[in-house]
Chain A
Amino acid sequence: MKAFSELFTRIDQTASTNEKVDALADYFAQAEEQDAIWAVAVLSGRRPKRTVKTSELWNWSGELSGLPEWLQAESYHIVGDLAETISLMLPVNKTFSNYSLHEVIESLIALGSKDEEARKSYITGMWAALSTQELFVFNKFITGSFRVGVSDKIVIKALAKHFKIEENVVAHRLSGGWEAQGNSLPSLLSSDSANNDISRPYPFYLAYPLEAEPESLGDVSEWIIERKYDGIRGQIIVRNQELFIWSRGEDLLTEKFSEFHSLVHILPNGTVIDGEILPRKENCYLPFHVMQTRIGRKNVTKKSLQEAPLVMVCYDLPELDGIDIRHLSLEERRNKLEILLENLQTDNPDLPLHISPVVFCKNWDEAASERLRARETFSEGLMLKRKNSEYKTGRRRGDWWKWKVDPLTIDGVLLYAQRGHGRRADLYTDYTFAVWDGEELVPFCKAYSGLTDKEMLSVDNWIKKNTLDKFGPVRSVTPELVFEIGFEGINPSPRHKSGVALRFPRILRRRLDKSAKDANTKTDLMELLNIYRFDNAE
């Protein structure tokens, strides 16, 4: 626990990737086997299931600190992180005990089956035995979301460095669902097939946004151009007569997507298909929000199955006949994928797997005009993939680019501001924007990102000086500042006062040239809605 919290401190104190990798490699060199694998699990987001409730943490820490609930809540608003707030408010310990990382995490897991008294006695006992730095890490284990500025890439690099294995091999063996308990890094990373998890997906190859002119990519004939659909990126895997569906966030979603369950009998063993999971109706791929309602649910209703049955738009084939073919060119992989799907289609006309259509372009000008048609096809733009590209690991520049259509925009007036979380705690960075409805301003979206740190500070400063009213953590401000809001789509929403819901709203820039009265109106929003709305069955 001490070594891990020191590792955490070292990582937290640097912005340099190399220093983070070194810190991790040093940790792997001295950590016990059982601790090291838990460190990797925790840092790569495989935290154990939560066993202590937030309300319990508040109550128990309040008893120890003697602070009233309202003051705990105010403090939390300022800090923006539950684990950190509690660790700062607990009495400071003078003497510390030593616990190993795996001991602590496994004890936390074991709390799941214990009653409240036992849970309280364990947690408060630990709170009295750890240093301030360890307390924070310990609380983070309980509350989850251990985001500490360590990307999977950094963990992979450090493991590759320490175990002297190639990075893409490490990446593959770390992907998917594995258990830390009773496991070890050497065994997880070994090529030994006994440890070969049949559910394991390949690390997704991700595209960078295209910022340069497409002409800089060379001859258009060297590229495969596809539409960029707005669904869930996923891998469908069939191995040993079992089906697995992974999302890009490496969540196993097999149960949620019943449309694909028949594939276990259809796809040959040793097949991994990469593509976009989307609702489809009447020969049309529908936008993401249509299936949004079913994603969070445990049981999918019949209604949503009928309204928006899912298909996968398939664009890649990392594995065929049990063989990793990621090193082949995209052209070859796609050929094999087309043949596979065509053959399956003849016996299964309702196959929920569609080949991602290629957009044929004779030159980049044609591609540019296809890109502008994105909203007609409910897509976000184009994907440009080099025909001879391998299937790489993670986000890489050079061979795969996403070329999204410019967002829709509207100028909104800043109406409310709320403190941010984490890195933005104590700054007013979460904003609500409004448009004019006659003489009245109606809120139409919230946006959190898009400003530089410097702009954020100056807007924060302005907010503090121009506050009209405070409601808990929220301030209303003089309607004066105008921002250009960009978004990907617009849909009707009876839940919002403005009557619309925006997809991916973010701040594009502050309009210093405009005053509040120059902002857009609700009528302008309605016009956009009428042009771009997707009329589903409602």
Chain B
Amino acid sequence: MQKPLLSFDDYGIYCAAADVYIDPWKPVKKAIITHAHSDHARWGMGFYLAHEHAIPVMKYRLGEDIKTQSLKYGEEIIMNGVKISLHPAGHIWGSAQVRLEYKGEVWVVSGDYKLQADGISVPFEPIKCNSFITESTFGLPIYNFPETQEVHEEINAWWQTNREEGKNSVLLAYSLGKAQRVMAHLDPSIGNIYTHGAVHNINEIYEAHIGPLPEALRIDSSVNRKEIKGAMIIAPPSAISTPWMRSFSPYKWAICSGWMQLRGTRRRRGADRGFIMSDHADWDQLNTAVLATGAENVYVTHGYKSIYAKWLNSNYGLNATEVETLYTGEALEETAEIETTESKPDESI
């Protein structure tokens, strides 16, 4: 029997034929990166191959001197006879699925993905393959995310109400991806928008490579907090219960995450509001994506992996197995976005 094209080892997902790792979690010579979130794009690789829009973020976060090569969606390169190409994953801007083909066998590593169109990333494209590696962050039937447009309207309405009550609105969203998604759909006619430094830096990269976002002011020591009234402030989750956040008093705060679907999770965070918005696939999206690949082998990584693999086996008769990885998916804690200096809250009040 032929050795499978991809295998899982202590370093990450390995393609022996091409001698390359995909999203490795320990330093290796050559890495293909699905997207620039820190649990997938880690420090210390000899060489990084990624989508052209992921590279600038990686350089910003991992250092300008990293060795990189960028690809467009659908562009093909060959490593030791393995055909490799990147395809839209719809997770965040610049996120990709990795397609690998060797001797007629096709594997797709999806990284993180969603099927919902978010208005700023290139939407997910199903790729036919024999073996599919899928995440399972929201791999339970209790996760059914509302239409994106509805949530954006709720956010704007929340902001409007808070403003009428003389309060600021602090919205916590990942600085890479979620923050731009939210920003792009804010209604700037409601009031002023401010950004935390970590968000602001990523916004600049987004605007340089992709397109404009509503005007927003970076919060630093030059901003007089007293002038911020009825405004929307976009900050990373690390800002929770910091003096930085409290400096916007009076304010209301909200979390933007797929986990907000569960009442217990929402209440435990103590947020005033929880908006159900995720850059990951919910239950129906996962099933749709897996079936659309036509794959007979499915490897289930980070999330409810054993439950989801059991479901794929028993309900669709697929050959599904769970795989241990070090990816964290959508976390409400700091673990997912390893906080680098750029995202430290600005304490200069």
**B37-81 to A contact mask, C-beta < 8 Å, 1/0:** 000000000000000000000000000000000000000000000
- For residue A85, which residues in chain B have a CB less than 8 angstroms away from its CB? 142
> Which one of A67-75, A300-308, A491-499, A526-534 contacts B?
A67-75
- For residue B140, which residues in chain A have a CB less than 8 angstroms away from its CB? 71, 74-75, 78
**Given contacts A71-B141, A461-B335, are A13 and B273 in contact (CB under 8 A)?**
yes
B264 touches A457 (CB 8 A): no
B261 touches A88 (CB 8 A): yes
Chain A interface size, under 10 / 10 to 19 / 20 to 34 / 35 or more: 20 to 34
B270 interface residue per 8 A CB criterion: yes
B209 interface residue per 8 A CB criterion: no
Shortest CB-to-CB span from A79 to chain B, Å, is: 6
Looking at the complex, which one of A14, A71, A424 makes contact with B272 (CB distance below 8 Å)? A14
- How many angstroms between the C-alpha atoms of A422 and B315 in the bound complex? 29
B293 interface residue per 8 A CB criterion: no
**Given contacts A65-B141, A88-B142, are A80 and B264 in contact (CB under 8 A)?**
yes
A230 interface residue per 8 A CB criterion: no
A453 touches B268 (CB 8 A): yes
Shortest CB-to-CB span from A453 to chain B, Å, is: 7
- How many angstroms between the C-alpha atoms of A89 and B263 in the bound complex? 14
- For residue A425, which residues in chain B have a CB less than 8 angstroms away from its CB? 262, 264-265
B144 touches A457 (CB 8 A): no
B333 touches A79 (CB 8 A): no
Looking at the complex, which one of A75, A78, A423 makes contact with B268 (CB distance below 8 Å)? A423
B311 touches A71 (CB 8 A): yes
- Which residue of A has the minimal Cβ distance to B144? A92
- How many angstroms between the C-alpha atoms of A469 and B114 in the bound complex? 31
Shortest CB-to-CB span from B79 to chain A, Å, is: 34
B268 touches A424 (CB 8 A): yes
A84 touches B263 (CB 8 A): yes
Shortest CB-to-CB span from B255 to chain A, Å, is: 12
Looking at the complex, which one of B141, B142, B333 makes contact with A461 (CB distance below 8 Å)? B333
Looking at the complex, which one of A14, A71, A79, A427 makes contact with B307 (CB distance below 8 Å)? A71
Shortest CB-to-CB span from B309 to chain A, Å, is: 12
Shortest CB-to-CB span from B311 to chain A, Å, is: 6
B267 interface residue per 8 A CB criterion: yes
- Which residue of B has the minimal Cβ distance to A14? B272
**B260-293 to A contact mask, C-beta < 8 Å, 1/0:** 0111110110101100000000000000000000
- Which residue of B has the minimal Cβ distance to A80? B264
- How many angstroms between the C-alpha atoms of A199 and B68 in the bound complex? 80
Number of interface residues of B (CB under 8 A): 23
- Which residue of B has the minimal Cβ distance to A460? B333
- How many angstroms between the C-alpha atoms of A12 and B264 in the bound complex? 11
- How many angstroms between the C-alpha atoms of A504 and B101 in the bound complex? 61
B142 touches A79 (CB 8 A): yes
Shortest CB-to-CB span from B62 to chain A, Å, is: 25
Shortest CB-to-CB span from A279 to chain B, Å, is: 38
A81 interface residue per 8 A CB criterion: yes
- Which residue of A has the minimal Cβ distance to B158? A13
- Which residue of A has the minimal Cβ distance to B269? A453
- Which residue of A has the minimal Cβ distance to B241? A454
B142 touches A89 (CB 8 A): yes
A426 interface residue per 8 A CB criterion: yes
- How many angstroms between the C-alpha atoms of A75 and B263 in the bound complex? 14
B263 touches A12 (CB 8 A): yes
**Given contacts A13-B273, A15-B270, A461-B333, are A79 and B264 in contact (CB under 8 A)?**
yes
- How many angstroms between the C-alpha atoms of A13 and B144 in the bound complex? 20
B149 interface residue per 8 A CB criterion: no
| Docked complex: B290-349 residues within 8 A CB-CB of A | 304, 307, 310-311, 314-315, 333, 335
Shortest CB-to-CB span from B146 to chain A, Å, is: 9
- For residue B141, which residues in chain A have a CB less than 8 angstroms away from its CB? 65, 67, 71, 75, 88-89
B262 touches A84 (CB 8 A): yes
For the complex with contacts A78-B140, A421-B264, A424-B268, 5 further pairs of A-B residues with Cβ separation under 8 Å are: A13-B272, A70-B310, A79-B262, A88-B144, A457-B333
Chain A to chain B contacts (Cβ below 8 Å), 10 pairs: A14-B272, A75-B140, A78-B142, A85-B142, A88-B144, A88-B261, A89-B142, A136-B263, A423-B264, A424-B268
Interface residues of A (CB under 8 A from B): 12-15, 65, 67-68, 70-71, 74-75, 78-81, 84-85, 88-89, 92, 136, 149, 421-427, 453, 457, 461
